[in-house]
Structure 1
Amino acid sequence: MGAWFNTEMMLIILGGAIATFLTRIGGYVLITQMKTIPPRLEAALNAVPAAVLTTLVAPAFFTGGPDVQVAMAAALIASLRLSMLPMLAVGWCAVMAMRYWFGA
């Protein structure tokens, strides 16, 4: 059982879980205590989805191969006119075509 159970590792996991819980619940509690949300805070909260999307997409774009880059560009262009599911299909078809024709 010693190889599977490490007290230090369990404390690190527990500490991380507590810190994550407190940061998530803290924002909710803070905002519910405000009577009105200040304009700067509202602008910051409106920017969160774009920031999260950027942190998910940018590493894949810059570390992926040309197949991933072409697929992301195709999906971006498709997203200007189509809803999410067709946009996803365009990106998937683009990456599959690149891998089929160019072996990327």
Structure 2
Amino acid sequence: MSLDPINLAAFLGMALVTYLTRIAGLALVGRLNLTPRAQAAFDAIPPAVLIAVIAPSALATGWIETVAALVSGLAATRLPLLGVVAVGVATVVGLRALF
């Protein structure tokens, strides 16, 4: 197996751009003076992105995974992350065993 120089350059370029965007975000966040409302909006971005990634997968794979996602969402209101993951996995395993 050989590595094409064009592919290598593309990989390295993508890695560099990804790294620079992450560093730029960290460098700029300290310079922003946000109002409390803007800060609340920025704080809502990570859970919104997480839901945007999880919801299509949970809704498109089948009813068992959809139920497990809903149960995990309810568990997330009371349990830490590891507990939520355990509840979600147990729900999928249990429902698949039953049905």
**Gap runs ≥5 in structure 1:** none
Deviation at 1:80, TM superposition (A): 2.3
**Gap runs ≥5 in structure 2:** none
Deviation at 1:41, TM superposition (A): 4.7
Deviation at 1:13, TM superposition (A): 0.5
Alignment coverage as a number of residue pairs: 98
Q: What is the CA RMSD across the aligned residues, in angstroms?
A: 2.0
- Given that 2:59 and 2:65 are in contact with CA atoms closer than 8 Å, whether structure 1 keeps it comes out as no
* Correspondences of 1:24-63 after superposition (within 5 Å): 24-32=22-30, 34=31, 37-39=33-35, 41-63=38-60
* Correspondences of 1:1-104 after superposition (within 5 Å): 3-32=1-30, 34=31, 37-39=33-35, 41-102=38-99
TM-score (norm 2): 0.81
Deviation at 1:48, TM superposition (A): 2.0
* Fraction of identical pairs, as percent: 34
**Secondary structure of the corresponding residue to residue 2 of structure 2:** coil
TM-superposition CA deviations, 1:58-97 (whole Å, max 9, x none): 1221222221111111111222233333332222221111
Point out 4+ residue stretches in structure 1 off by more than 6 angstroms.
none
TM-score (norm 1): 0.77
